[in-house]
């Protein structure tokens, strides 16, 4: 059995390697995760990843798909967290803006680093000001059983592209109103596998709002 120090070293090595994950394929990242974390359960390394990067793991396929389906190569990350996805989308050549109502001292999720400029703003306030024409948004791991994500997407114009990252209905993201909205008022364009931590079942799913 490995010692706590050995496990901590594995996690530290994983976090260092993870900086380059967005440029790697999903399969390459999975291989790297198995190589670096083969004896760990998943909780500790995910918490370390969240503190440094984000709730979900970007990969090349996800970045490419978001860029392909975006309108005018622009996107707003409406729950940006540390800004890790926003940074990597900008690095891929997109025009990116990012908002979150829980940044700095208001951040309760453990993010320790900001990778991108994030405007402190609630997503529903943003949606009210940007609902005249279709837009592209990124929504990553909307908080469980909270209604803000649903209220935001409900306000946006038909034709809006929603790049949703998280677990599907029955998981630990959003609420039933959000998933009923996806089912009844959106067209599913593409579902992309992303690297998953042990016990997580998150995907990138790209929707087009049709109503």
Q: What is the model's pLDDT at position 109?
A: 60
Q: Is residue 26 part of a domain?
A: no
Q: Is residue 41 part of a domain?
A: no
Q: What residues make up the domain containing 115?
A: 60-209
Contacts of 53 (CB under 8 A, 6+ apart): 18, 82, 84, 115
Q: Is residue 4 part of a domain?
A: no
Q: What is the model's pLDDT at position 62?
A: 98
Q: What is the model's pLDDT at position 111?
A: 63
Q: What is the pLDDT along the chain (211 residues), one digit of tens a residue?
A: 678 788 888 889 889 999 999 999 999 999 888 887 775 666 778 888 888 899 999 999 999 999 999 999 999 999 999 999 999 999 999 999 999 987 765 565 656 678 999 999 999 999 999 999 999 999 999 999 999 999 999 999 999 999 999 999 999 999 999 999 999 999 999 999 999 998 899 999 999 999 9
Based on the structure, what is the number of domains in the chain?
1
CATH code, domain carrying 185: 3.40.50.150
Under DSSP, the state recorded for 147 is: S
Per-residue pLDDT tens digits for 17-47: 999 999 999 999 998 888 877 756 667 788 8
Q: Is residue 159 part of a domain?
A: yes
Q: Is residue 132 part of a domain?
A: yes
Contacts of 56 (CB under 8 A, 6+ apart): 85, 140, 141, 165, 166, 194, 202
Q: Reduced to 3 states, what is the DSSP secondary structure of residue 190?
A: strand
User: What are the angstrom distances between the C-alpha of 210 and each of 63, 85, 137, 160, 169?
Assistant: 23, 26, 15, 8, 20
Q: Is residue 188 part of a domain?
A: yes
């Amino acid at each position: 059995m490995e010692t706590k120090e050995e496990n901590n070293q594995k996690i530290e090595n994983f976090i260092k390697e993870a900086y380059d994950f967005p440029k790697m394929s999903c399969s390459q990242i999975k291989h790297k995760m198995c190589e670096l974390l083969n004896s760990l359960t998943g909780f500790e390394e995910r918490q370390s990843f969240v503190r440094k990067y984000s709730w979900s793991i970007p990969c090349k396929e996800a970045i490419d798909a978001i860029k392909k389906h975006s309108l005018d190569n622009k996107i707003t990350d409406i729950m940006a967290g540390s800004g890790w996805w926003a940074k990597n989308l900008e690095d891929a050549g997109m025009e990116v803006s990012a908002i979150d109502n829980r940044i700095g001292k208001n951040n309760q999720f453990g993010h320790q680093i900001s990778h991108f400029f994030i405007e402190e703003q609630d997503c529903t306030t943003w949606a009210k000001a940007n609902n005249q024409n279709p837009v592209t948004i990124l929504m990553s791991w909307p908080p469980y059983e909270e209604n803000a994500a649903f209220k935001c997407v409900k306000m946006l114009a038909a034709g809006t592209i929603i790049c949703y990252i998280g677990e599907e209905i029955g998981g630990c993201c959003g609420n039933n109103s959000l998933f009923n909205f996806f089912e009844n008022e959106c067209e599913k364009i593409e579902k992309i596998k992303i690297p998953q931590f042990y016990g997580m079942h998150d995907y990138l799913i790209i929707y087009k709002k049709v109503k």
